[in-house]
Amino acid sequence: MDGATLSLKAELHQDRSRDHWGTPSVLAFSDPATPFGRYSLLQEQAQGGALQARYAWKSAGGADNVLQASIDHDKTVHEGVWGSGTGVQMPLGVAPRTVQMGGSKTDADVDFQQRRLWGDHDFIWGLNLRHTSDNLILPVTPYLLVDGKSQRLSYSAFVHDEITWVPDRFKLIVGSKFEKDGLTGFNVQPNVRLLYTPGQNEAYWSALSRSVRSSRRTESLATLDISAADAASLNGLTGLNLPANMLTAVTQVTPLPQAVLKAEQALSLEAGWRKQFSNFMSVDVSLFATDYSHLRGARMHSQPLTGLPEAMACLAVYGPGMCYFTMAGYNSNEDKARSWGGEFSMEWHPRAWWKVQASYSLLRVKGLLSGDPLGDVQVRAFENSAPRHQISLHNNFSLASDLNLNVRLRYNSETAHYTLNSLSLTRLSPYTGLDVRLAWQVNRSLEVSLLGRNLLKDRHTEFINIFPVTRAYDAQRSALVQAVVRF
């Protein structure tokens, strides 16, 4: 075959990490600093490897073909304290304990693509077949998380056609992906794009596309205690008049019987403009609006209180702290939201040795509130977990042929994240960061650099991971000396 090439790639990895993660907790087992929640050390060990073979050739008709096969295996084991203090002795809590959890996953994948030029058409199509098997290491719990073992077969096809309507002026790009996913069934992801270039230094573009995301099994098919709170805060709902710190109300979500997963969906409309004013300045502007549907969330059952009489009896025997009742909820794919915003960026060369890159982005997210307290707090977290405003100012100075100075100033506005021990959000303050890098190119193969990160403050909080919930991540002021050797 004409110009055929065969390539092989193999990868191995092994990683270790430590973090502090949080779980909701019956009061007796919680940390004094975080009532109804506890944080503990989570250690992670991960290892795996991948093997990929790729064969590319040009057929007699002039088409470019690529056949690729790969197998990817990963195993991750977490060791940490698991459990919220609930248990089979309901409503008497069982102490959390150190367990191992995680699992292994193997993906076997075969992919074929072909590209062919037909007149004004640049046409690409492809097929994919993937087999996924996983074996989860699950802690022994009073409730079942998900089935430990699973095997799934997914297959997909795509088409992509880039059509030149007017040479050097109009291009229409149409295509779609058709996928049968092992968890969420059949999904179609079409997209249409239009590119208009009135001149060599200017372009306008627009796009309409539909995309989907399949939830993981542990997200939508698991039974989990997701939050805990003082039952006294629910006196109006329960009809009781409990003093503080007597009973714990644990919110637990479970899959509905015969639950069928739906893929999360997004319908996006985008548009943009780029202008090269000169060799020294260019500007990019883009706008977007996206509708989300079938978002993963949760709802309370119509009669959520479970085990309240038993909890009151337990309280009389064991006293404050040990006993709990359940606020029962269920996993759902019912939430909807809309986002819109845009980005402005500029690149400017004031001098041959000085380059400035500046950008500003705006993101607004608005969810549809259902009136359900459990569902609405997750919608509000979705609305606020990403910063509304982001600003970046990047200066690059070529001080000499072998000496470069890079200075980056960035700003992120306030965010809010879901927390462990109440149906509320934790707000993180806006922050400004300054990073500086001075690099010396000693020779063609050696570069030595000095980096300073987050120089304006000793530390600031940037985000909170939500699955699993971790402590707020603090970025600290740091300095680093780095040497890069190229062979």
pLDDT tens, position by position, 279-296:
899 999 999 999 999 998
Structural domain boundaries, residue 358: 2-485
225 contacts: CB under 8 Å, gap ≥ 6: 23, 24, 84, 86, 250, 251, 252
Question: What is the full DSSP assignment across 106-151?
Answer: EEEEEEEEEEEEETTEEEEEEEEEEEEEEEEE----SS--S-SEEE
Nearest to 8 by CA among 65, 68, 49, 59: 68
Query: Which regions of 200-280 does DSSP assign to beta strands (E)?
Result: 202-213, 224-230, 248-254, 264-278
Q: Structural domain tally of the chain? A: 1
Helical segments of 271-412, H only: 308-318, 373-384
For all residues of the chain together, what is the average pLDDT?
Answer: 89
Q: Give the residue-averaged pLDDT of 7-15.
A: 95
Nearest to 455 by CA among 470, 442, 441, 438: 438
pLDDT exceeds cutoff 70 at 420: no
Instruction: Give this prediction's pTM.
Output: 0.85
Strand partners, 92: 323
pLDDT (tens digit, 9 = 90+) per residue, 67-116? 999 999 999 998 888 888 887 777 888 888 888 888 899 999 999 999 99
Q: Give the residue-averaged pLDDT of 412-426.
A: 77
CATH of the domain at 116: 2.40.170.20
- Are residues 155 and 180 in contact, defined by beta-carbon separation less than 8 angstroms? yes
pLDDT (tens digit, 9 = 90+) per residue, 292-323? 999 988 899 988 988 999 999 999 999 999 99
How far is the CA of 305 from the CAs of 37, 251, 322, in angstroms?
A: 20, 10, 18
The reported pLDDT for the residue numbered 333 is: 87
Nearest to 15 by CA among 71, 75, 73, 70: 75
Cα 327 to Cα 246: distance, rounded to the nearest angstrom: 16
Q: Are strands 473-476 and 478-485 parallel, antiparallel or unpaired?
A: unpaired
